[in-house]
């Protein structure tokens, strides 16, 4: 583990400022399951038959399971060097990240083209990874949904100045003002059209899946 961390610190720009704790490394077992190193708390309880369950008193204190602390702010998958940080085993040098800072690609590639190329590599490390393709697929679907939404809104003539709160209020009051020559539109019908457009994007998911798996047929 220490050798892997030091290698990443020397060769991967995303890990150059990582401080390696020798104390924490020494606490790891030489071999075995790391789950045994997680903090645990023991609680004593009474074991009774089901027939006496109604006579049991309520516990004085609920057991608390401490999960690892996480950052409160979610990280966008459009963040620079996202794939390098999320999958260091796939991008050990920090190269070829779709979100790489200052990428010097001579030809601009789409997310689909980038993913299809990586999934076709001979060493199969991207194709065999249990989560990589799903991360890319999720981002692709959300991009498609956003594109469909933008096209639909432009076609309907809805002002881009509307806020989410205003749109929600329009649905509640069933009153949505449209600027492109329409006085009043039925808000529920408007959003029903949007949902239909989004569902059309979902129906094309098989095409996206084939693209990410490297099948152009």
Q: Residue 197: which pLDDT band, with cuts at 50, 70 and 90?
A: very low
Instruction: Give CA–CA dist 144/201, Å, rounded.
Output: 7
pLDDT at 52: 53
Q: Residue 160: which pLDDT band, with cuts at 50, 70 and 90?
A: low
Q: Residue 187: which pLDDT band, with cuts at 50, 70 and 90?
A: very low
pLDDT at 92: 87
Cβ(78)–Cβ(97) under 8 Å? Answer: no
Q: Is residue 196 part of a domain?
A: yes
Q: Is residue 2 part of a domain?
A: no
pLDDT at 184: 39
From the number of C-beta atoms within 10 Å of its C-beta (0-12, 13-18, 19+), residue 32 rates as: exposed
In sequence order, the 6+-apart residues with CB closer than 8 A to the CB of 62 are none
Instruction: Give CA–CA dist 129/87, Å, rounded.
Output: 10
Q: Is residue 95 part of a domain?
A: no
Interior/surface letters 183-195, b for 16+ CB within 10 angstroms, e for the rest: eebebeebeeebe
> What φ, ψ does residue 200 adopt, rounded to 5°?
-60, -35
**Minimum mean pLDDT among 47-51, 109-113, 138-142: which range?**
47-51
Q: Is residue 3 part of a domain?
A: no
Q: Is residue 4 part of a domain?
A: no
Q: Is residue 79 part of a domain?
A: no
Domain hosting residue 186, numbered range = 140-212
On the question of pLDDT at 77 being above 60, the answer is: yes
In the chain, how many domains are there?
1
């Amino acid at each position: 583990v220490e050798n892997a961390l030091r290698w990443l610190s020397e060769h991967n720009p995303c890990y150059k400022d990582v401080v390696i704790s020798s104390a924490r490394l020494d606490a790891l077992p030489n071999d075995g399951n790391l789950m045994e190193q997680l903090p645990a708390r023991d609680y004593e309880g009474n074991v009774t038959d089901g027939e006496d369950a109604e006579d049991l008193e309520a516990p004085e204190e609920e057991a608390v399971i401490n999960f690892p602390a996480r950052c409160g702010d979610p990280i966008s998958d459009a963040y620079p060097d996202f794939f390098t940080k999320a999958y260091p085993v796939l991008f050990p040098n920090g190269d070829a990240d779709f979100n790489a800072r200052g990428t010097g690609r001579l030809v601009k590639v789409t997310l689909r083209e980038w993913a299809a190329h990586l999934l076709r590599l001979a060493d199969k490390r991207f194709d065999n990874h249990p989560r990589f393709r799903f991360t890319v697929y999720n981002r692709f679907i959300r991009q498609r949904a956003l594109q469909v939404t933008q096209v639909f809104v432009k076609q309907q003539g809805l002002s881009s100045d509307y806020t989410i709160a205003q749109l929600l209020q329009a649905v509640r009051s069933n009153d949505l003002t449209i600027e492109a020559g329409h006085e009043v539109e039925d808000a529920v019908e408007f959003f029903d059209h949007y949902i239909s457009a989004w569902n059309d994007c979902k129906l094309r998911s098989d095409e996206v899946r084939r693209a990410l798996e490297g099948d152009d047929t």
